[in-house]
């Protein structure tokens, strides 16, 4: 019998795995300028590797989510950790832009997708109370990447070439992620669960997966997550390059990521607590509107103080809203399909994230600045806010079979 306190070990493992995985993937924005100088590849070309990575995450999120529902999260995150190591090593040996785009984009993206959705699904199963806080803490670990992995990546690339730097990051991934993956366990409520009998045993409605995937709540959840991530993907990826274009030194520009990350840590915890108190949907809607305003704030930033101010607001809100999608999923769908539902939501988010790197690179190559990127992000952010307003839970008679614990506001 697993101790109920072990749920916090799951939270810790999820946060650490996410921090290293996301940090390894987001070393690419830090390497963007050095790679361009060393290889002659265009910014748009290198940035498109991240776009391909997010597309791979989109496909991988749904796949790994379904595998998690069937076999549990430990096998999935262990596989993803090993794949991340291999893909970073292969990326460091890429001899052409196309090779780098395919290796980094496809393999790193698939590896990262094996961490986020499976761990979010695992955590929602371990918690009936304090669910918003729990998933926010896992997400906070992922948000620590800008404060940990990004400075490490910047330090490495100033002392080594980008290829050696990626090899060192691969070693860090292997040393931390593989052992931590072994700590992950399936939620106790699912340990003996199989098929429809699992739904009955858990006191949940016997909703077919096909019905869930066609339902308006799921489709709106996907569209909101896509628009939300499309809002912040460009600013996240290109802000360091934008700051350097404004004359800010490289290490100082990278520190903007750290400010975003620190603000995001507070945002994840803050939004988690508010979500538990006032409900996930209400908190998400308000956060999406503030996120749009925060993205526009970068348009007016031209010195380090202004960048720090914009990073604080933007990081606090975009990081804070992201865990709430998993909470909304758990409030509206049976636990036995959480991997697939959260994987689908993560797929939409990854598709949204894929738009920013390539769009920002194209805008810079075409105009010589990033101004229109932040204006576009603001517009998409307002759209995400309006879409989220239309989200409606399932009718009470359809969800009435849920246990009292599962109906607790999160």
Q: According to the 3-state scheme, what is the secondary structure of 384-407? A: HHHHHHCCCCCCHHHHCCCCCHHH
Query: 403 in a domain, yes or no?
Result: no
Q: Above 50 in pLDDT, residue 34?
A: yes
pTM for the whole thing?
0.71
Q: How far apart are CA 116 and CA 142, in angstroms?
A: 9
Question: What is the b/e burial string over 133-163, where b = at least 16 CB atoms within 10 angstroms of the residue's CB?
Answer: bbbbbbbbbbbbbbbebbbbbbebbeeeebe
Average pLDDT for residues 273-287, to the nearest whole number? 88
Q: How far apart are CA 103 and CA 288, in angstroms?
A: 33
What pLDDT score does 409 carry? 35
Q: What percent of the chain has pLDDT over 70?
A: 90
pLDDT tens column, 295-321: 999 999 989 999 999 999 999 999 889
pLDDT tens column, 313-352: 999 999 889 888 888 888 888 877 888 888 888 889 888 8
What pLDDT score does 149 carry? 83
- Please give the residue that has the higher pLDDT: either 29 or 227: 227
Query: 410 in a domain, yes or no?
Result: no
At residue 193 the predicted structure's pLDDT band, cuts being 50, 70 and 90, is low
What pLDDT score does 164 carry? 93
At residue 192 the predicted structure's pLDDT band, cuts being 50, 70 and 90, is low
What pLDDT score does 191 carry? 63
Query: 84 in a domain, yes or no?
Result: yes
What pLDDT score does 403 carry? 40
What is the number of structural domains in the chain? Answer: 1
Q: What percent of the chain has pLDDT over 90?
A: 33
The answer to whether residues 166 and 91 touch, using CB atoms and an 8 Å cutoff, is: yes
- Please give the residue that has the higher pLDDT: either 26 or 222: 222
- Neighbour count for residue 286 (Cβ, 10 Å): 18
Q: Provide the 3-class DSSP secondary structure of residue 186.
A: coil
φ/ψ of 19, rounded to 5, equals -60, -50
Query: 73 in a domain, yes or no?
Result: yes
Q: Above 60 in pLDDT, residue 205?
A: no
> Which of 108, 114, 136 lies closest to 15, judged by CA?
136
Host domain of residue 116: 10-188+207-394
Query: 2 in a domain, yes or no?
Result: no
pLDDT tens column, 373-390: 999 999 999 999 999 999
- Please give the residue that has the higher pLDDT: either 364 or 403: 364
At residue 169 the predicted structure's pLDDT band, cuts being 50, 70 and 90, is very high
DSSP 283-309: HHHHHHHHHHHHHHHGGG--SHHHHHH
Return the top range by mean pLDDT from 30-39, 83-92, 256-265: 83-92
Q: Provide the 3-class DSSP secondary structure of residue 208.
A: coil
- Please give the residue that has the higher pLDDT: either 191 or 86: 86
What pLDDT score does 51 carry? 79
CA dihedral 88, 94, 99, 101 (to 10 degrees): 50
Average pLDDT for residues 62-70, to the nearest whole number? 87
Q: Above 50 in pLDDT, residue 195?
A: no
- Please give the residue that has the higher pLDDT: either 309 or 131: 309
What pLDDT score does 201 carry? 43
Q: Above 50 in pLDDT, residue 405?
A: no
Q: How far apart are CA 238 and CA 299, in angstroms?
A: 12
- Please give the residue that has the higher pLDDT: either 208 or 405: 208
Contacts of 19 (CB under 8 A, 6+ apart): 141, 142, 143, 144, 145, 148, 149
Q: How far apart are CA 81 and CA 134, in angstroms?
A: 22
Query: 49 in a domain, yes or no?
Result: yes
Q: Above 90 in pLDDT, residue 277?
A: no
> Which of 139, 215, 136, 149 lies closest to 176, judged by CA?
149
Q: How far apart are CA 155 and CA 172, in angstroms?
A: 14
Query: 131 in a domain, yes or no?
Result: yes
Q: From residue 54, give the alpha-carbon distance in Å to each of 58, 60, 107, 393.
A: 6, 9, 11, 29
Query: 199 in a domain, yes or no?
Result: no
- Report the CATH number that the domain containing residue 116 is assigned in CATH: 1.20.1250.20
- Angle of CA points 372, 354, 274, to nearest 5°: 85
- Please give the residue that has the higher pLDDT: either 214 or 396: 214
At residue 168 the predicted structure's pLDDT band, cuts being 50, 70 and 90, is very high
- Neighbour count for residue 396 (Cβ, 10 Å): 9
Q: How far apart are CA 204 and CA 213, in angstroms?
A: 17
pLDDT tens column, 91-113: 999 999 999 999 998 999 999 99
Mean pLDDT across the chain: 84
């Amino acid at each position: 019998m697993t101790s109920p306190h072990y749920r916090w070990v799951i939270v810790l493992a999820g946060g650490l795995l996410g921090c290293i995985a996301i940090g390894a993937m987001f070393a690419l924005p830090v390497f963007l300028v050095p790679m361009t100088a060393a290889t002659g590849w265009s910014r748009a070309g290198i940035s498109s590797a991240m776009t391909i990575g997010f597309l791979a995450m989109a496909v991988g999120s749904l796949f790994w989510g379904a595998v998690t529902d069937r076999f549990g999260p430990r096998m999935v995150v262990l596989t993803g950790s090993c794949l991340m190591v291999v893909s970073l090593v292969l990326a460091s040996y890429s001899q052409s832009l196309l090779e780098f785009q395919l290796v980094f984009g496809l393999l790193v993206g698939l590896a990262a997708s094996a961490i986020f959705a499976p761990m979010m699904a695992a955590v929602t199963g371990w918690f009936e109370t304090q669910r918003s806080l729990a998933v926010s803490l896992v997400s906070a670990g992922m948000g620590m990447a800008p404060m940990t992995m990004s400075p490490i990546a910047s330090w490495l690339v100033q002392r080594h070439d980008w290829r050696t730097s990626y090899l060192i990051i691969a070693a860090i991934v292997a040393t931390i992620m593989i052992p931590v993956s072994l700590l992950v366990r399936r939620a106790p409520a699912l340990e003996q669960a199989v098929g429809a009998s699992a739904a009955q045993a858990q006191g949940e409605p016997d909703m077919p997966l096909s019905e869930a995937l066609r339902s308006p709540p799921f489709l709106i959840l996907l569209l909101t997550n896509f628009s939300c991530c499309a809002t912040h993907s460009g600013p996240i990826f290109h802000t360091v390059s934008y700051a350097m274009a404004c004359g800010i030194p490289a290490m100082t520009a990278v520190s903007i990521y750290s400010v975003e990350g620190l603000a995001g840590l507070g945002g994840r915890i803050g939004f988690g607590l508010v979500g538990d108190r006032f409900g996930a949907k209400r908190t998400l809607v308000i956060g999406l509107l503030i996120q749009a305003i925060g993205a526009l704030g970068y348009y007016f930033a031209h010195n380090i103080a202004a960048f720090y101010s914009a990073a604080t607001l933007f990081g606090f809100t975009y990081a804070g809203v992201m865990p709430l999608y998993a909470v909304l999923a758990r409030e509206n769908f049976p636990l036995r399909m959480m991997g697939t539902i959260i994987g689908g939501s993560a797929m939409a988010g990854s598709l949204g994230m894929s738009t920013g790197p390539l769009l920002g690179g194209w805008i810079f190559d075409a105009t010589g600045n990033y101004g229109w990127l932040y204006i576009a992000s603001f517009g998409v952010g307002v759209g995400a806010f309006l879409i989220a307003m239309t989200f409606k839970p399932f009718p009470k008679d359809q969800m009435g079979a849920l246990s009292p614990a599962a109906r607790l506001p999160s």
